[in-house]
Structure 1
Amino acid sequence: MPIAQMKTNFKFGSDAARTDFLDEAASELSVILRKPLPAIMVMLDDCSMYMNKSEDTVFFAEFRYILPQECADCKSEFLKELADRMLALIQKHTHVDPYRIYMQFTEMTREGAWRYTG
């Protein structure tokens, strides 16, 4: 199961704005990772975050994924697309300075990942 685990000190203006972000993140990941939407998990934690002696908005995201088989020969291009699209999405919804967004990508093996059975 592809998972996006995100943490931020950004305060969304409403529950609807937060849900819109989560919906769009799940949809983008579904397309990029070539997985059905029900197989995508996104998590968002609000927490205290402090960086460079500042509590300005900061965003951390970890993406765990299985590399689509058709991308096996172009992994660097796949990761660039994933990073670029998620960076744009995070900025669209939070307006956070891109130098205060940190992303980590973890590739899982097919054998070690949960399998969607729907």
Structure 2
Amino acid sequence: MPLIHLNTNVVLDAAQEIEIAEHVSKLAAKLLRKPEQWVMAHVATRQSMIFAGSDMPCAFVECKSIGMRDPDIPLLADALCTLLHQHLQLDPARIYIEFTSAQAHQWGWNGGTF
């Protein structure tokens, strides 16, 4: 159910992308209190991105989950920025994160919805 899209202009190879996706998946499962078997992490690197008029390294992250609780959002924002700073050396001031809480009937899987 949780879905994390990471879009960045940082250049990584395929193995590094998988490593970041694994870290993001584990983080989302822990902080959203969802089994990791339901988490999807998508990492897109080498994106053409401009933030604040500059092409310096930056990221846009989408975090979606069924029943995301408002108190979890600041914790997720901090943890995602910390992870991206540690692993990609991204300045947290160059990261935007969009949080979306979906209703179960709006989330499809395996030919149906939750």
TM range (shorter): 0.7 to 0.9
Structure 1 stretches of 4+ moved >6 Å:
none
Cα drift, residue 81 of structure 1: 1.0
Let me know the Cα RMSD of the aligned residues.
1.8
**Which letter maps to 1:36?**
P
Percent identical: 26
Is 2:76 the counterpart of 1:77?
A: no
Distance in 1 between residues matched to 2:70 and 2:109, nearest whole Å: 24
**Counterpart residue identity of residue 106, structure 1:** T
Q: Which residue of 2 aligns with 1:11?
A: 11
Amino acid at match of 1:50: I
Pick 1 or 2: higher relative contact order, CA cutoff 8 A, min separation 6: 1
Q: Give the counterpart of 2:104 among 92, 104, 110.
A: 110
Matched residue, 1:33? 32
Q: Does the 8 A contact of 1:33 with 1:67 survive in 2?
A: no
SS in 2 for 1:48: coil
Distance 2:57 2:97 in 1: 15
Matched with 1:51 is 51
Whether contact under 8 Å (2:82, 2:92) holds in the other structure is: no
Higher normalized strand content (fraction of residues)? 2
Residue 97 in 1 paired to residue 97 in 2?
no
- Measured after TM superposition, the shift of residue 15 of structure 1 is 2.9
Q: Distance in 2 between matches of 1:5 and 1:26?
A: 10
Name the structure 2 match of 1:22.
21
- Worse-matched range after superposition: 42-51 or 107-116: 107-116
Cα distance between partner residues in 2 of 1:50 and 1:78: 28
How many angstroms apart in 2 are the aligned matches of 1:79 and 1:59? 17
Counterpart Cα distance in 2 of 1:85 and 1:60:
14
TM-score normalised per structure 1: 0.81
How far did residue 16 of structure 1 move? Answer: 2.6
1:5 shift after superposition: 1.1
Provide structure 1 residue ranges, at least 5 long, that are not aligned to the other structure: 69-74
Counterpart CA distance in 2 for 1:52 and 1:63 is 22
Gaps of 5+ in 2: none
